[in-house]
Every structure is written in C-alpha cells, then in structure tokens.
Structure 1
Amino acid sequence: MASPESISRLDKLRALEAWLDWQLHQTRARIQEVEAQERQGQREPRGEEPPKQAERQVEERRRPRTPDWGLIEAGIGSPTAEVHRGDCWAAGKRLQEISRERAIAELADAARACEVCRPDRVLGTP
C-alpha cells in the first residue's frame, strides 16, 4: 500500500474527481426519483424520513440531555461545592443536575463558581 506522501497531487485530485462524479450521479438519480414521484402526485410516504435525519434523531434519543446547571459536591480534593453551566467541559462526570434557582442559592451559600464557565456571570450573582 502506498503511503500518502508517495501519492502524487494529480492522483489525489483524480481520486477526488471520481468521488465527486459518483456523488453527482447519486444526486441526479435521487432527483429523478423525486421528480417521478411528484409527477405521479406522490410524496414521500409518511413516517419515512431521509436517512440522515432519522440517524440524527436516534442519536439524540441515546444521548442524555445536557443540563442547564450543575453542581459538583465537595469531596476529596475539593473543599467546597462548585457550580457549573451544564455544558462546561471542566465539570467532568460527577456533575449533578440542578435548577437555575438552586444554582443561584448555592452560589449565595458559599459554593464556588467554576472559573472556566463562569456561571456567576450568567446568573448575575456576585
């Protein structure tokens, strides 16, 4: 098998051209199918979705909802509780989902605000 460095630029462009040609052929075939359905007064059957949209919906069902706010309880290495935005990358896997009101109350009760996502700024707490 040839290494990527040994493949010439022209060969790479020809491979790309072949793939794009295949994509164009697939697209034109799908257009013809849809045009034929419309001429016959048919639309795509109900309940059927384009494959990409169906795949996206399945993945969304599997993935847990991202909470708006979260709390990491005090423990080893963390002397105080810490409030995070739900999408904060620094929160890790120990993030416990909490409501907006509880996040505000925790910040007022000596919990620290995460220095990465700064929930105190979003919540308007000092």
Structure 2
Amino acid sequence: MYDLPPDLDRLRTLETWLTLTLDRVRQQIKNVEQRQQTAPQDPPPAPTPRPRTPDWAIVQTGIGTPTTEIHRGDCWAAGKTLTPITAERARAELADGAKPCDACRPDRPLGMPPPQP
C-alpha cells in the first residue's frame, strides 16, 4: 500500500487531484462509448490461414558438396528450408540418388526400397 501524507492539507489536495482525474477518465469512457455507438461496426478481421504442410519436401544440404535430402512435410529434422514437392517428384529424386531423411524415412510410405549403404 502507498504511504499517504499525514497532514490534512496534503490529503485534501490528493483527494482533489484524484477526483479530477477520475472525472477525466469517466468523460473519456463516455466519449469512446458514443463513438462506438455512432461508428459502423466493422467485422473482425478474418484470421490468416496457415499454409498447408506439404506432404513431401526436398532440402539442399551439405557444405561444399551439395546433397539432396527428401523429407516428409512434417519432419522435425528438416529445418526451415523445405521446398514442397509432389509424391511423384519425391519418388523420382529418391530413384536418382537423393538421400531419404533418417528421421522421417519418406522412402517407406512412398514404397521405395531402402537406401543401400
């Protein structure tokens, strides 16, 4: 709790200031309520839809020697550089030697044989 002044003069001054401040706040509330009643009500903005998670994605990885990796679209290990691709392109990339992600194993649901070591 705040410490209040011990003397009556300062307490009265504080009371006057608080009363004036409360009057200003109440007047502002009335002004805002009047504006809201007279202004046309805009509908709330529609939420921005999140982009659909792709089913399959490709990532260029590697430093110096680029490596192409195929991931499921919801793979936690893919990072933020996913490029969405179709299932057909994912199969073609895997057939051409792209590496399937070790975490999400996209080769399994695509019906591809496991990579050879």
* TM-score relative to the length of structure 1: 0.50
Gaps of 5+ in 2: 1-45
> Structure 1 residues 66, 110: CA separation in 2 closer, same or farther (over 3 Å shift)?
same
Q: Structure 1: any 5+ residue segments left out of the alignment?
A: 1-56
Over residues 45-100 of structure 1, what are the superposed CA-to-partner deviations in whole Å (9 max), with x where a residue is unaligned?
xxxxxxxxxxxx826x1x21100000002442764200000000101101100000
Percent identity over paired residues: 63
Question: Matched residue pairs, number?
Answer: 71
Q: Which residue of 1 aligns with 2:102?
A: 115
Runs of 4+ in structure 1 over 4 Å off: none
Matched letter for residue 125 of structure 1: M
| Alignment of 1:70 onto 2:61 | no
**Higher share of residues assigned strand:** 2
Out of 31, 35, 47, the residue aligned to residue 58 of structure 1 is 47
Larger Rg: 2
SS of 1:84 mapped into structure 2: strand
**Structure 2 counterpart of 1:81:** 68
CA deviations on 1:12-48 (whole Å, 9 max, x unpaired) are xxxxxxxxxxxxxxxxxxxxxxxxxxxxxxxxxxxxx
Root mean square deviation, CA, Å: 2.4
